[in-house]
Amino acid sequence: MPEPERVDLVLLGQKLTVRTEASPEYLRTLADFLEERVGVLQRSGVRDPFKALLLAALDIADELHRAREERHLDEGEVGARLRAVIARLDELSRQAP
């Protein structure tokens, strides 16, 4: 496992140094993504940068939560289909001479 390194970021004009095992490029991509989401909110009328940041975080958390729920539902559907296939194969194997 790589040793955590320090990565300097600038978010909403504030310097932030984080220690991470992730690549600096990846972390900067995440920061850019967050800055863009905040920018969208600010362009839509949210003037307070802190409120825009909180709203962006809430929106991203909502997306993550929905994606996890969808994945969970998909996994349940796949599992049900696999069980049906296995049951059918069992049935066919009992009918085979």
In whole angstroms, give the CA distance from residue 86 to residue 89: 5
pLDDT score of 1 more than 70: no
pLDDT score of 81 more than 90: no
In whole angstroms, give the CA distance from residue 18 to residue 31: 12
Instruction: Convert the pLDDT of each residue in 18-49 to its tens digit.
Output: 999 999 999 999 999 999 999 999 999 999 99
Mind giving me the DSSP string for 60-87? HHHHHHHHHHHHHHHHHHHHHHHHHHHH
pLDDT of residue 38: 95
Q: Which domain holds residue 9?
A: 5-95
- Structural domain count of the chain: 1
Q: What are phi and psi of 68, to 5 degrees?
A: -65, -45
pLDDT of residue 75: 75
pLDDT of residue 39: 95
